[in-house]
Structure 1
């Protein structure tokens, strides 16, 4: 027996040595694990509302999600009615005033929000019965008042006005309009005109037609019991009027007949927004749904995607380039490959994106790319299973999308079975460079000349021109003739006269300005003070703490950033002096050296371009003479970075016009400062420059 025991130990030792040797060889993956996915309990009310319950008693919390799964809705000349409906829902009910409703939600420490065809609530489980009451009351008995309607309408219009100079927002709007057509629910967009067409009666009509239980799902997750949910749902939602939303019809979108560049001129753009897009008919229940997702992930699904590695890591054209493929059970969706790039590399970026799409269509992906992507999807899927919300989402998808009951139970197995050939077939089917729309929104005066020369596979790509609404237009003309004999000095003199006159400006010994802005949800406060004696102070604060400060007092000065103080060098002092004058244009007239460098469009205005230095250019409105924009080239970490200041909303203070909206742009970031106060010859003391 002892001998047998020794032999057994020896065998184990031999196996251990062999195992160490075998570690140099990649082990073969085992079979995909079988997923035992719990199914939520469910029931249906007589009015058509389908209810799913996922019990999870780990924490004393509960969430309630209401989803109404209607087909796309075309709003036409009243686009915005759905948005207004969503913003008015949840403002109390016919039984509870808005203030009392919100006060109770806050008192319960809960959340409750509505969309035009959805609602969401969360709270401690002990308040669940009351939250069901409040959600149902607000959903079934909305309190649509004229007063609240006018408030929400004004908010929506304010937001739309802000978007009119947002290059990214305009680009997205035009991309959708060109893909689907403006008479399609996915291609139409909301404007101030369409919002003004909407009346309160339109909101009521939209609500009655589309906020109905026929296609509605109520998902309850958390520390509840099925019997409790069923009882409360029957008590609170049975009175929801049974109705069937009307069937809708609209034009069917088509891809472009040939690959083309659709250019939108945005003179205020500091970078170009690029989207290579084509339509796809992809649904979750399609056999090649998962191979299509894998193909997209390899192309541009994240930081390891080919687009990112090419345009960012290799070329340095952008902060990131990505792709996405949509799926829709009702309509065609889109494949999109996108990037926000520096103006100077716009044409090159278009070429590289098209090249990457061509490559994944025409050449098989590598074993490594496929293995890494499968591992990523497997990891995401397994991690998601830890969340109770996942079980509900999967069950909801099976219901809404008409998926097989075992869709998620076999998910990992089907991911594991995807072959290189499957990926390439999906890429060929859903990605296209033969009839793609390359939508570019950017500053035409800087990018268009090279963009018109773009060719792929030896074939030049035609450029078509569109305005900010997606309407076809003529090629922008950047060669507007200037009046004969016009000089830079005359333009500056016109500006000085426009804001108050030379004598008025020369009487200003100092002024103080305060402004506020928002950045990533945080409030910024800016204070700026200037005098005619080479004194300057600018302090930007966040939450009361200084994040950036610059001070000049004659021939000395300092800067503070991230808590570190640094004295300014003689060269830096001279640069700050140039900007510290109460009105730099008076210096331009006195010293000279400025040059007229042509005309450009800034926003929707023609502007004279004045070159002040090799690194600074200023633009003045050709009609009013007011300053519209300053562009400065700065050196940062060995690279040249363009910084733009835009001036708008001029108002009079002490007989002088000052801009009350100053937008600072650097790279993809825009910060809009709204001036709150300006004091002339007041509010400044020597202590400000210490």
Structure 2
């Protein structure tokens, strides 16, 4: 029942041999010079639209990127609607339905996308008029269909449900709230409640207020010249009407007066997600921007950074530790982050704080400085190979009121950064003594170890602080086997469990707009089958027949996996608890934890392969609420949480009619049962292994 297939794409990295060089010495850098940034032409329409044209005739393609230069918008109790504006622009116009738009875009091999503050289109040069016709159609004539908004809201709610179980998403949420505050537009979170509040009028009001040419920049890049571009722009954008656009002001968020720990309890976590974060006042174009770029490169900008070298290479606490120091017109952010094993959470934090303090107190070495400067210079130089970079530079120069030669002299500014400059900005922007330390992990294992770093406060996945209550005590004498037995009895009701001879459950689920059909069949005591189909095509199937087990992908048998052969027959059962008891698997009652505001007994089960599963049973009803399996990923074990809801009675037996399956970190699929049949006399052929 919990068996899912995960297809991983592996990228192979090849290396070439080089002549021997003296690796103990870094190459001498060439003196920095003023760069020749690619040429661009600019003009402005009477309606205020500012246009930048970058010619590049290497390929017969052209792109149009429109950017709205607006202040951040506070969404309030309708947080999330901004993320829907772009999608709604593409869902139909007064002249075309969504399907017609998609068909016409596909017919010319173009790409057309939008967000709340941009519209982007790309096509072959010969189709540029058609592309602009489509692009301006969604800009000028959107209909914002109600039924399309409901689809988007449904997708958003599904994503939110998945995010609740994803430690990285939880960390992002809490970090956002603590860094900026809920009253700042950067600190707002999309929740189920705010999504339900969103209406088409919210989308329309935003569109009517902010889609104005006098706050817009249009970058045209590709196989086109200024004369032709100007003609096109006047034709398609000349009648766009300007208007007054709000420019609200916001309070600048401040870091906390002293460092404290924000702990989010994730009881199934085997890793702790750490993020040390706070706001910084650093605006684009300010003199400190370049030295802070060098500072961050040395501290945590990549695999040569101090955080990576310390926490991964030296200590082996994590697969990667990094930092980020960003500039922004309103307020920037510093963060240092990693995912580490539960048992080294406090040790990792010690090293984080050590490195933050060290980069303030000690000058960086000559080698570190040179390596960082070379890395930044190389990245900048490579970016110049893309014509879109020139357009971005042009827009940034205008938006942020940068000097005309800001990017032309960028490498000179990078090369001029000294050790003293790095230490100066470190002392200005690195503040381990005034940071939010956000940790998402298993509180029972790590909470006490976090107190040396600051007062520990508990937060939920949306950044709301709460006072944790003591977990209820396990009733004296209660065992894991009894909890599992109680669950089976709750399923059987007034029947004896051995009266259940077979059961077949058919469900439907939606994945990326496609409907899936899921069939799970069990015949006691040891036959099971699960298949997933799309239309008439079977995507995958697993079959267990006694001790034999096989998996199929699109009709072809997959290579046998030793662990799957051991655990697959159990994972594929609707009631794996029968096997837990029959096979006398090792089980341990770990405690009582909350699952959706319900108290649940947590039972750890060791499967035949040695893999562990955590089962959560309602302390009141005995029914299973959640099951957490652990799979090996590139950064260690990944917990995958399966939810069971909407229990209903079928011929005296009780089964969940809603199951939420994980497809990957932060991505879930909700399967709703359409049919459950008990003791229907399933034929053995259904469980035949070929």
For Structure 1 versus Structure 2, the TM-score category normalised by the shorter chain is 0.7 to 0.9
Tell me how far 1:344 sits from its aligned partner. 2.3
Q: Per the alignment, do residues 645 and 257 of structure 1 end up closer, same or farther by CA in structure 2, a change over 3 Å counting? A: closer
Cα distance between partner residues in 1 of 2:301 and 2:536: 40
C-alpha spacing 1:164/1:124, structure 2 compared with 1 (3 Å)? same
Contact 2:518 2:533 in 1 (8 A): yes
State yes or no: 1:240 paired with 2:240.
yes
Please say if residues 258 and 434 of structure 1, whose CA atoms lie closer than 8 Å, have aligned partners that are also in contact. Answer: yes
Q: 1:471 aligns with which of 443, 464, 480?
A: 464
8 A Cα contact 1:394 1:408, kept in partner: yes
Q: Is the 8 A contact 2:299 2:323 kept in 1?
A: yes
Residue 688 of structure 1 and its aligned partner are, at CA, apart by 2.2
Tell me how far 1:527 sits from its aligned partner: 7.0
Aligned positions of 1:43-122 closer than 5 A: 43-122=43-122
Matches for 1:389-400 after TM superposition, within 5 Å? 389-400=388-399
Partner of 2:600: 607
Q: 1:644 to 1:48 in 2, by over 3 A?
A: closer
2:655 counterpart residue number = 657
Match of 1:440 in 2: 439
The alpha-carbon deviation at position 486 of structure 1 amounts to 4.8
Return the TM-score normalized by structure 1: 0.84
Bigger mean CA offset, 587-596 vs 209-218: 587-596
Partners of 1:167 and 1:33 lie apart in 2 by: 45
- Equivalent residue, structure 1, for 2:179: 179
- Change in Cα spacing, 1:177 to 1:507, as seen in structure 2 (3 Å) is same
Post-superposition shift, 1:407? 1.0
1:620 and 2:612 correspond: no
| Aligned partners of 2:89 and 2:139 also within 8 Å | yes
Q: CA deviation at 1:217?
A: 0.1
Residues 55-112 of structure 1: CA deviation (Å, up to 9, x unaligned): 1111111100000011111121222232232221133323334333332212111111
CA contact (8 A) 1:298 1:304 kept: yes
Of the three residues 486, 496, 499, the one matched with 2:491 is: 499
**What are structure 2's unaligned runs of at least 5 residues?**
1-19
Of 643, 647, 656 in structure 2, the residue corresponding to residue 647 of structure 1 is 643
Q: Is the 1:357–1:431 contact (alpha carbons within 8 Å) kept by the matching residues of 2? A: yes
Task: State the superposition RMSD in angstroms.
Answer: 3.9
Residues 169, 643 of structure 1: alpha-carbon distance in 2 compared, 3 angstrom cutoff: closer
Between Structure 1 and Structure 2, how many residues are aligned? 659
For residues 362-401 of structure 1, what are the structure 2 equivalents within 5 Å?
A: 362-401=361-400
Q: CA deviation at 1:155?
A: 3.2
Distance 1:308 1:522 in 2: 41
Between the aligned partners of 1:688 and 1:223, the Cα distance in structure 2 is 60
Q: Distance in 1 between matches of 2:23 and 2:579?
A: 75
SS of 1:142's equivalent? coil
Give the C-alpha shift of residue 675 in structure 1.
6.5
Structure 1: 5+ residue stretches without partners: 1-19, 456-460
Give 1:404 shift.
Answer: 0.9
Deviation at 1:438, TM superposition (A): 0.5
Q: What CA distance in whole angstroms lies between the structure 2 residues aligned with 1:596 and 1:85? A: 48
CA offset digits 1:363-407 (Å, max 9, x no partner): 122221221221112221222212111111111111111111111
Q: Deviations over 1:503-532 (max 9, x none)?
A: 364233344567899999999998765432
Matched residue, 2:201: 201
Deviation of the 1:152 alpha carbon: 3.1
Change (3 A) 1:106 1:560: closer
Going from structure 1 to structure 2, the CA distance change for 1:471 and 1:546 (only over 3 Å counts) comes to same
CA distance in 2, matches of 1:21, 1:640: 36
1:544 positional shift: 12
Range with greater deviation from structure 2 (72-81 or 41-50):
72-81
2:162–2:666 CA contact under 8 A, matched in 1 = no
Instruction: Single out whichever of 515-524 and 122-131 deviates more from structure 2.
Output: 515-524
> 220-229 vs 76-85, which deviates more?
76-85
Instruction: Kindly state the Cα deviation for residue 560 of structure 1 after the two structures are TM-superposed.
Output: 9.2
Structure 1 contact 90–139 (Cα < 8 Å) conserved: no
Q: Quick check: 407-416 or 645-654, which moved more?
A: 645-654
Identify the residue that residue 310 of structure 1 maps to in structure 2: 310
- Are the equivalent residues in 2 in contact too, given 1:514–1:528 (CA < 8 A)? yes
Deviation, 1:301, is 1.1
Given that 1:171 and 1:440 are in contact with CA atoms closer than 8 Å, whether structure 2 keeps it comes out as: yes
Q: 1:521 to 1:286 in 2, by over 3 A?
A: farther
SS of match in other structure, 1:599: strand
Report the Cα offset of residue 580 of structure 1. 6.9
Question: Is the 1:445–1:478 contact (alpha carbons within 8 Å) kept by the matching residues of 2?
Answer: no
Q: Which residue of 1 aligns with 2:352?
A: 353
- CA gap of 1:504–1:248, structure 2 versus 1, over 3 A, is farther
1:337 aligns with 2:329: no
Post-superposition shift, 1:154?
Answer: 3.3
- Whether contact under 8 Å (1:516, 1:675) holds in the other structure is yes
Structure 1 residues 384 and 525, CA gap change in structure 2 (3 angstroms): farther
For the structure 1 residues 405 and 93, does the alpha-carbon distance in structure 2 shift closer, same or farther, using more than 3 Å as the test? same
Alignment partner of 1:162: what SS? helix
Matched, 1:509 2:501: yes
| CA gap 1:523/1:35 in 2 versus in 1, 3 angstroms | farther
CA distance in 2, matches of 1:96, 1:482: 62
Name which of structure 1's ranges 300-309 and 156-165 shifts more when overlaid on structure 2: 156-165
